[in-house]
């Protein structure tokens, strides 16, 4: 008689909730708001430098410096000898055949790609598998928190997911704000980071 094996069940996705829908100043927690996993702080005076901390040990994970003329930079204390690099070198922008813009990050577990479309405002995929997101944005409503939902695979690169999401969601908001301010027929049906935006 042939033995049968039951496939291992994958762990349920985890929700990383934001205390505030503010990509520059917020805390991010799993199930316990009083015990945040990440803390995001932006310099009040300049509004140009954002620090992302591991809130459990108050350890700096990444620092993003936004600059007016020179390219934005990112610094990881535990990577590149602690030296800053151009943000575009870490979060690399490219375009798919269908015209959608994507942003790729190289991680210790391979290349992952952020994409935005009609299904997801922002979703992360393993390169080569653009049909099953390993993480995606959950919009905030009256009954659910604004959150990043991560599958088990994304947990392996959680810090990279959180840092890159914060950057891209902030860019998306700035772009949408500019579109709304611009108005006019030329501004109709614009795409931001590959996301279709309808402007009334």
**Residue 18 in contact with residue 137, Cβ under 8 Å?**
no
Tens place of pLDDT per residue across the chain (200 aa): 555 555 567 789 999 999 999 999 999 999 888 899 999 999 999 999 999 999 999 999 999 999 999 999 999 999 999 999 999 999 999 988 888 889 999 999 999 999 997 788 999 999 999 889 999 999 998 888 999 999 999 999 999 999 999 999 999 999 888 876 655 433 434 444 444 443 33
- 71: CB partners within 8 A, 6+ apart: 86, 87, 88
**Which residue, 85, 26, 79, 18, is CA-closest to 52?**
26
Predicted local distance difference test score (pLDDT) of residue 196: 42
Residue 2 inside a domain? The answer is no
Spell out the long-range contacts of 163-166 with Cβ–Cβ below 8 A and sequence spacing 24 or more: 163/52, 163/61, 163/62, 163/74, 164/91, 164/103, 164/105, 164/114, 164/124, 165/114, 165/122, 165/124, 165/135, 165/137, 166/23, 166/40, 166/50, 166/52
Judge whether 79 lies within some domain: yes
Into how many domains does the chain fold? 1
Residue 59 belongs to what domain range? 14-197
Q: What is this structure's pTM?
A: 0.85
Residue 27 lies in a domain: yes
Question: What pLDDT was estimated at residue 3?
Answer: 54
Q: Of 194, 71, 198, 28, nearest to 125 (Cα)?
A: 194
Residue 1 lies in a domain: no
Evaluate whether residue 180 is within a structural domain.
yes
Q: Is residue 75 part of a domain?
A: yes
pLDDT for the residue 7: 57
Cα dihedral angle (160, 161, 166, 170), rounded to 10 degrees?
120
Q: Does a structural domain hold residue 157?
A: yes
Is 193 within a domain? yes
Query: Which CATH number covers residue 149?
Result: 2.40.160
Spatial distance between the Cα atoms of 121 and 197, rounded to a whole number of angstroms: 10
- What pLDDT is recorded for position 199? 36
């Amino acid at each position: 008689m042939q033995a049968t094996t039951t496939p291992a069940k994958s762990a349920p996705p985890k929700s990383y909730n934001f205390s505030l829908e503010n990509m520059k100043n917020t805390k991010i927690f799993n199930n316990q708001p009083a015990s945040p996993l990440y803390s995001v702080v932006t310099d009040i005076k300049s509004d140009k430098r954002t620090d992302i901390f591991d809130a459990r040990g108050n350890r700096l994970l990444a620092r993003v410096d936004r600059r007016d003329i020179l390219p934005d930079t990112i610094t990881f204390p535990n990577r590149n000898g602690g030296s800053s690099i151009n943000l575009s070198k870490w979060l690399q922008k490219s375009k798919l055949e269908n015209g959608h813009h994507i942003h790729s990050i190289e991680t210790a577990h391979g290349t992952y790609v952020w994409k935005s479309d009609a299904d997801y405002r922002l979703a992360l995929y393993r390169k080569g598998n653009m049909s099953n997101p390993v993480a995606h944005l959950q919009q905030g409503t009256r009954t659910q928190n604004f959150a990043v939902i991560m599958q088990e695979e994304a947990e392996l690169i959680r810090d990279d997911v959180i840092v890159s999401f914060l950057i891209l969601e902030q860019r998306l908001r700035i772009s949408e704000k500019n579109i709304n301010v611009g108005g006019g027929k030329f501004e109709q049906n614009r795409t931001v980071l590959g996301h279709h935006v309808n402007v009334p």
